[in-house]
Amino acid sequence: MVPNEAYQYTGIIQLLQHFSWTWVGLFVVDDESGDHFLEALEPLLSHNSICLSFMERIPNQGHGHISDKANAVISKLNRHFMDRKANTFLFYGETMTVMWLCTLMLLTNFKENLSVGKVWIMTAQIDFALTYVIRSWNYEIFDGTIFFTVHSNEPLGFQTYLQNIKLTWSKEDGFLKDFWEQVFDCVPAQLDKLCNGDERLEGLPESVFEMGMTGHSYSVYNAVYAVAHALHAMDSSRYNHRTMMNDKRVEPPDLQPWQLHFFLQDISFNNSAGETVSFNGDREVLAGVDIMNMVIFQNNSFRKTKVGSVDPNKGNRFIINEDIIVWHRQFNQVLPLSVCSDSCSAGYQKRKKEREKFCCYDCAPCPEGKVSSRKDMDDCSQCPEDQYPSKKKDQCIPKVITFLSYGEPLGISLTSVAVSFSLITALVLSTFIKHKDTPIVKANNQDLTYALLVSLLLCFLCALLFLGRPSKVTCFLQQSAFGIIFSVAVSCVLAKTITVIVAFMATKPGSSMRKWVGKRLANSIAFSCSLIQACMCAVWLGTSPPFPGLDMQSLPEEIIAECNVGSVIMFYLVLGYMGLLSTISFTVAFLARKLPDSFNEAKFITFSMLMFCSVWLCFVPTYLSTKGRAMVAVEIFSILASSAGLLSCIFSPKCYIIVLRPELNRREQLIRRKNYRFLLYVFLLWYLWK
């Protein structure tokens, strides 16, 4: 009725893990049972990250003399006791093993060893032996010992039975008389120590007699009842009588022990303690082990207290009540530590020391981007994409979703600039419409001028699409609207520049370019160049349009809410085409820069396109080197700066004359110019636009 020894192994591992004791010493008997213990326990220790600081084989006392092997153990024993790291000792052996270990400790510097507190963990095999040793010798070193015992409970009426035992019962039980004389130190023959029969077992110290039922006694109790139930089952089974006993009643004296095996394996009953007794498929009783704590007092008495258990009926559930455990007095009731290296705090990871066991390690900070949220982690872990490591690298903090909003200072500033330039552009457009009959307006192709001003107005308003949290609509419109509107503006500038060149070439006598001068050429250039960009944007939006997304990688502490461009190829085609138009416009304007000083619109266009190209050339590396809100702000700034450059360079001189110097905006004033070629150019433009 003794439970499987494997439950003890499970209990030892769980006990060490519960108290985080990873650096323990081991004393084991030097025989076959010790070999079996090591074979079963060592893999469990290694699998659960527990190391042995040392392992000493204790020889049996049967040799009758101290062997060389024992001398070697003696030479090491004091060193083990002085080790301040290994404060937990496992012990496995039999009664004689305990006696021999005590003898070895006597041969060492034992008084110094008493001043060093150790936690002894012992198996159920030495329950009786340990009790005997403590009674016989004054070994305070075993104070606070934790040991395993076979599970026990109190059967109904057991305490009453013990309390009612009297010396008079010895007439029927000869053992009782000898027991009584020993525990009460009295004999009937000596008057000074006469047993009067009034002695009671409950008055004895616990170190002399335990009133509680021990595990071994409880096992005997259950075994007797199990045999009784098996006999009852055998007697009531007709099938068993016919097949095994040839229909003859078998009397108890003729019963063989092996005949009970068949019935024992199916036995299951509730004993008087309220527990179920049964066997598993391996014919092992389903009983666990109890965990006891022994306290040794100065007068050599002791007390054993149950502090936990391992219950196989509930999946080897480990229960421990550490609040009632009394440790060795040297620990001052502070939980003992038994580790090779101090714990690595959160934010650090273990780094194994060379040529030492894996329980001995250094603590290294977690690498960049990783955290360790618990103590003694072997490796730091990567945070999820939507989180980032704290400064101490001990936890992952959720990233904040960021975007350039209208409410923040930068967003307010950009919005104010965009709206202001939009109003200025609208004012310029209204000024040109109001003075549409003046020579300087007529000479600048009204259709192209209006188209350019409207496109610039939309360019300023287009910047507002980049503010706020990206949505499906804004992402769908952002890049396509930006590409088409800017292409219209640059196409209008290109058309105006080509018109200027053609007009001056047409002033030469007999020139064939005169037939190209007119609205048709300018409008065709602006429309065709814009149409190409619009077609590319239509293909882009129809195949793989931009969509809102979250960039979790670019910034360590933020999630960027952005618009994914969809098709990267189409995105670069749209930007490349706009860059091509800008380059052509700048080149054409640069070639026409040597027009007469009295009408230098080509110079203004050249300067405006130089400013436009410079802004976008600076935009590319800046855009690629920034992330998050700064990247969006760079693009908005580039849109506003390039649009403002076109507006100011092309239209500010004309607005100056129209609004502040209206006397110069007259036909007579233009006729007085000395440059004949310029005069022909102005009149030709005026005549054609009329």
- Look at residue 23 and tell me whether its pLDDT is greater than 50: yes
The reported pLDDT for the residue numbered 133 is 53
Place of tokens 């290109």: 494
Per residue in 544-590, pLDDT (tens digit) is 999 998 888 888 888 989 888 888 899 889 988 988 888 888 888 77
The reported pLDDT for the residue numbered 110 is 55
**Confidence label for 677 from pLDDT (cuts 50, 70 and 90):** very low
Q: How many residues are given for the chain?
A: 690
**Contact yes or no for 493/585 (Cβ under 8 A):** yes
Pick the CATH number of 6-151+287-331 from 3.40.50.300, 1.20.120.1200, 3.20.20.70, 3.40.50.2300: 3.40.50.2300
Long-range contact set of residues 271-276: C-beta below 8 Å, sequence gap at least 24: 271/155, 271/221, 271/222, 271/225, 272/155, 272/156, 272/157, 273/153, 273/154, 273/155, 273/156, 274/153, 275/153, 276/313
- Look at residue 238 and tell me whether its pLDDT is greater than 70: no
Q: Looking at residues 613-634, what average pLDDT do you find?
A: 83
**Confidence label for 690 from pLDDT (cuts 50, 70 and 90):** very low
Give the torsion sign (CA, 566, 569, 575, 577).
negative
Instruction: State how far the Cα of 483 lies from the Cα of 634, in Å rounded to an integer.
Output: 16
3-class secondary structure per residue, 43-101: HHHHHCCCEEEEEEEECCHHHCCCCHHHHHHHHHHHHHHHCCCCCEEEEECCHHHHHHH
Domain range summary for the chain, segments of one domain joined by +: 6-151+287-331, 158-202, 213-286, 348-398, 409-689
Per residue in 313-324, pLDDT (tens digit) is 777 788 999 899
- Look at residue 605 and tell me whether its pLDDT is greater than 50: yes
Q: Looking at residues 260-286, what average pLDDT do you find?
A: 77
Q: Which two tokens stand for residue 350?
A: 């273990």
Per residue in 501-520, pLDDT (tens digit) is 776 665 555 555 555 556 77
Per residue in 101-135, pLDDT (tens digit) is 777 776 665 555 555 788 999 887 665 545 555 55
Instruction: State how far the Cα of 655 lies from the Cα of 431, in Å rounded to an integer.
Output: 8
**Confidence label for 426 from pLDDT (cuts 50, 70 and 90):** very high
Per residue in 493-502, pLDDT (tens digit) is 888 877 777 7
Q: Looking at residues 318-333, what average pLDDT do you find?
A: 89
Q: Which stretch of 146-150, 422-426, 570-574, 590-594 has the lowest confidence by average pLDDT?
A: 590-594
Residue 374 has a CB neighbour count (10 Å cut-off) of 10
Give the torsion sign (CA, 425, 429, 435, 439).
positive
**Confidence label for 687 from pLDDT (cuts 50, 70 and 90):** very low
The reported pLDDT for the residue numbered 108 is 63
Domain 409-689 -> CATH class: mainly alpha
- Look at residue 540 and tell me whether its pLDDT is greater than 90: yes
- Look at residue 151 and tell me whether its pLDDT is greater than 70: yes
The reported pLDDT for the residue numbered 254 is 63
* Average model confidence (pLDDT) across the chain: 79
- Look at residue 521 and tell me whether its pLDDT is greater than 70: yes
Q: Looking at residues 170-179, what average pLDDT do you find?
A: 72
**Contact yes or no for 329/323 (Cβ under 8 A):** no
**Confidence label for 675 from pLDDT (cuts 50, 70 and 90):** very low
Instruction: State how far the Cα of 195 lies from the Cα of 167, in Å rounded to an integer.
Output: 8
**Contact yes or no for 29/97 (Cβ under 8 A):** yes
The reported pLDDT for the residue numbered 355 is 82
Instruction: State how far the Cα of 90 lies from the Cα of 73, in Å rounded to an integer.
Output: 16
The reported pLDDT for the residue numbered 67 is 55
The reported pLDDT for the residue numbered 421 is 93
Instruction: State how far the Cα of 249 lies from the Cα of 235, in Å rounded to an integer.
Output: 9
- Look at residue 628 and tell me whether its pLDDT is greater than 90: no
Q: Which stretch of 407-416, 550-559, 600-609 has the lowest confidence by average pLDDT?
A: 600-609
pTM of the model: 0.61
